[in-house]
């Protein structure tokens, strides 16, 4: 198959659930080339009526907590017991300094990768946090249009990428280790607060008791957070991916929360809010792009930065001046 398809070829392939075309379409939306971007925009618009019919689950946890092993076990459970088609997107922002991937280059989720009911898509390398939300949302939409009913978005549990993912999913599952010393294991309080469900991993063998103790501790700690508008306060469970235990309880908890939100109209509300927020983010991005494309504005920008640094003007005044120049530029290019 050729590397690039046309709009109709992408749309048809996706409608048929063709995984090769789906993978190509995700590559297209990840591309930063203007020609690809234009086609990606058209494609997302075209598939829009086929989107929205999935449960979108974000999963996070520090490296080593057992994310990929868990997703293999949980994914198998979803496919075998609930007969659902499952897509897994991983989001792994690399540090611009190291370009290193935290999730690692090893083949992850090997079994699921071979399963015809699953689609596993690792993140593109060198991804900056800024573009994650946009690309993740588009990839979710593409997977939905291709008929995937459960979408898991996996992220690394170290900060900003969780915020980006939270804006794109319905539920957030946080994986934690028992007795790993540091109470929150480098998981920031903000991430704990985002979690709808917390699962203590590796609850097997000698670790089982510790996992149960950790479960009560975390359950207690999470009770101190205010329940969200739906009245849900996060549930803490234990699981062992190795023994394939606890998967049903986690699945049932997610379904329970889904029903609770649906009954109150909150699921739709949450998604609508996300769509509108997405629109505003796109607008901000477009404005920024327009601004950055103008050589004269960039020159002026540099000059104003110097003025601010030398205390000749205030940041507020400099920003105002940039805005005026921008408006002027738009006016002159229009006429």
Q: Does 77 bind ligand GDP (CB under 6 A)?
A: no
Distance (Å, whole) CA 70 – CA 265: 30
Find the shortest distance in angstroms from Cβ 26 to ligand GDP. 21
Q: Does 61 bind ligand GDP (CB under 6 A)?
A: yes
Q: At 59, phi and psi to the nearest 5?
A: -125, 130
Name the segment binding ligand GDP (CB under 6 A); options: 64-72, 181-189, 285-293, 322-330: 64-72
Name the segment binding ligand GDP (CB under 6 A); options: 62-70, 77-85, 165-173, 305-313: 62-70
Binding mask 92-111 for ligand GDP (x = CB under 6 A): --------------------
Distance (Å, whole) CA 122 – CA 120: 7
Name residues contacting ligand GDP, limited to 169-208 (CB under 6 A): 201-202, 204
Q: Exactly one of 90, 94, 136, 240 binds ligand GDP (CB under 6 A); which one?
A: 240
Closer of 44 and 241 to ligand GDP (Cβ)? 241
Place of tokens 């789906």: 22
Q: Does 68 bind ligand GDP (CB under 6 A)?
A: yes
Closer of 13 and 66 to ligand GDP (Cβ)? 66
Closer of 197 and 241 to ligand GDP (Cβ)? 241
Find the shortest distance in angstroms from Cβ 101 to ligand GDP. 11
Distance (Å, whole) CA 194 – CA 322: 37
Closer of 168 and 201 to ligand GDP (Cβ)? 201
Edge-to-edge strands, sheet with 118-121: 118-121, 86-90, 150-154, 55-60, 171-176, 197-200, 235-238
Distance (Å, whole) CA 313 – CA 176: 49
Binding mask 7-46 for ligand GDP (x = CB under 6 A): ----------------------------------------
Q: Exactly one of 33, 38, 63, 81 binds ligand GDP (CB under 6 A); which one?
A: 63
Binding site for ligand GDP (CB under 6 A): 61, 63-69, 201-202, 204, 240-242
């Amino acid at each position: 198959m050729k590397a690039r398809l046309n709009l109709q070829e992408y749309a048809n392939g996706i409608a048929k659930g063709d995984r090769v075309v789906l993978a190509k379409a995700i590559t297209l939306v990840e591309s930063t080339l203007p020609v690809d971007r234009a086609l990606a925009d058209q494609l997302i618009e075209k598939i829009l009526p086929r989107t929205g019919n999935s449960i979108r689950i974000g999963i996070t946890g520090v490296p080593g907590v057992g994310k990929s092993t868990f997703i293999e076990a949980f994914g198998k459970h979803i496919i075998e017991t609930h007969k659902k088609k499952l897509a897994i997107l991983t989001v792994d922002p690399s540090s611009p300094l190291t370009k290193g991937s935290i999730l690692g280059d090893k083949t992850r989720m090997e079994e699921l990768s071979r399963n015809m009911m699953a689609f596993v898509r690792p993140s593109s390398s060198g991804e900056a946090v800024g573009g994650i939300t946009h690309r993740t949302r588009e990839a979710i939409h593409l997977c939905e249009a291709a008929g995937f009913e459960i979408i898991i978005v996996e992220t690394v549990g170290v900060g900003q990428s969780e915020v980006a993912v939270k804006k794109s999913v319905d539920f957030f599952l946080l994986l934690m280790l028992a007795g790993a010393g540091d109470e929150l294991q480098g998981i920031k309080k903000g991430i704990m607060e985002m979690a709808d469900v917390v699962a203590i991993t590796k609850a097997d063998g000698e670790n089982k008791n510790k996992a149960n103790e950790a479960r009560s501790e975390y359950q207690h700690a999470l009770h101190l957070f205010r329940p969200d508008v739906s009245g849900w306060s996060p549930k803490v469970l234990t699981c062992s991916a190795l023994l394939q235990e606890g998967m049903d309880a986690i699945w049932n908890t997610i379904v329970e929360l889904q029903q609770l939100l649906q009954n109150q109209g909150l699921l739709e509300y949450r998604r609508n809010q996300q769509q509108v927020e997405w629109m505003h983010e796109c607008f901000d991005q477009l404005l920024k792009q327009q601004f950055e494309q103008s050589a004269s504005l960039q020159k002026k920008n540099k000059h104003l930065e110097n003025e601010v640094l030398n205390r000749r003007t205030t940041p507020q005044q400099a920003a105002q001046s940039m805005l005026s120049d921008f408006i002027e530029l738009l006016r002159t290019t229009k006429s």
